[in-house]
């Protein structure tokens, strides 16, 4: 298995998986990939059109644990 869900990754790798996800989120924040918006400010249509994200954990061949955040495009 090359990649797994965040829950499986945390169960298998523990703290290393959490560190990998924190690194992934900090990279997304530094590159301003998302603009944070308060959910209370969005109307119903905007909330229903918002896409969810999926967090994945992967162990690379060198043994490093990598976190990935992807958009769940099934709703599109």
Torsion from C-alpha of 3, 62, 69, 4, nearest 10 degrees: 20
C-alpha to C-alpha distance for 63 and 76, rounded to whole angstroms: 35
What are the domain boundaries of the chain?
Answer: 3-75
Chain segment 13-62, per-residue pLDDT in tens: 999 999 999 999 999 999 988 888 898 999 999 988 888 889 999 999 99
Q: Note the pTM of the prediction, 2 decimals.
A: 0.76
What was the pLDDT predicted at 36?
82
Per-residue pLDDT for 65 more than 90?
yes
Per-residue pLDDT for 1 more than 70?
no
Q: What is the mean pLDDT of residues 4-12?
A: 93
C-alpha to C-alpha distance for 56 and 17, rounded to whole angstroms: 10
In the three-class reduction of DSSP (H, G, I as helix; E, B as strand; rest coil), residue 36 is classed as coil
């Amino acid at each position: 298995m090359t990649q797994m869900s965040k829950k499986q990754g945390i169960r298998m790798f523990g703290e290393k998986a959490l560190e990998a996800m924190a690194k992934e989120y900090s990279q997304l924040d530094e590159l301003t990939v998302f603009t944070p918006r308060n959910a209370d400010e969005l109307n119903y249509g905007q909330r229903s059109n918002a896409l969810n994200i999926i967090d994945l954990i992967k162990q690379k061949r060198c043994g490093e644990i990598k976190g990935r955040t992807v958009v769940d495009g099934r709703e599109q």
